[in-house]
Structure 1
Amino acid sequence: MEKRFSLAQLDLLKEIGTIGAGRAATALSELLSKRVEITVPLVNFVPLENIANLLKERERLFFVIDMEMEGDLTGRMFLLFPPDDAKNLSGALLGQPGEQINLQDEMLQSSLKETANILCGSYVAALADMTKLNILISAPT
């Protein structure tokens, strides 16, 4: 059964998302020692089985990191990086030019998973603070 949300509920979720994304951007900025800009998040409810189709519509490949939320709020968080962005971010973290990074490299994968842990942790902390819910996140995969 599909749930419908009111415009007010969607606006509230967008506001929570904006605050969470702001905290995540601040964490990334501190990690990179560089300015990070964000855009207003889009709020959309998509059945898990339809996510692959949604991404196919963009006709791009992504490096995907998956984390589960547990506790008072359950769900999944996906952090997606286009390959060039994944290489550039990993390169910045590792002190190497992004074009020298191989997508299969364990260091790239490890650095992106740790970045996802920091970003999603910051996002979930903002969500938990605002809602007073107990929310835990899994290790990134």
Structure 2
Amino acid sequence: MPVSMQPSPDAAARALLALLDEMIVVIAEENDLLAAGIPGSTSHVVARKRELAETFSRSIAALRSGDIVLARADRALHTRLVEKNEVLRRQMEANVGSLRASMAATRRRIDAIMRAIREQSAPPPSRYGANGRTSRPQEAQAIRPGRYL
């Protein structure tokens, strides 16, 4: 990007600060939802988090390419960027932990459902006794359809 079209370092720093602030809020909201037991994938927050992540990736690419230069930004803005980056990092670590816990809970739910389905579709236990003969009528009545343990 030509130098004349580059945003001023202070404007770029302010824009990045606003992006970091919104990312922190959105990730905190997702963490709260996950802590309440609401699956992350059903949350409206996920779409916004994805949009913000894409914007953040573009900003990082612009920094790396030199299209945005923050080194010349006001010292106070630069300090706030470093602080916000650390807050975002901690939020992201908490988010990863929350997402892992949510995935584990979902896996447990699926396992429980599959176990119940297998139990319902399992053939009834054999009506033959240890001696190889069929059980007596009263023993046969004790066997009922449904779950077998």
Judge same fold: TM > 0.5, yes or no: no
**Which of these two proteins has the greater Rg computed from alpha carbons?**
2
Structure with the bigger percentage of strand: 1
TM (normalized to structure 1)?
0.27
TM (normalized to structure 2)?
0.25
Structure with the bigger percentage of helix: 2
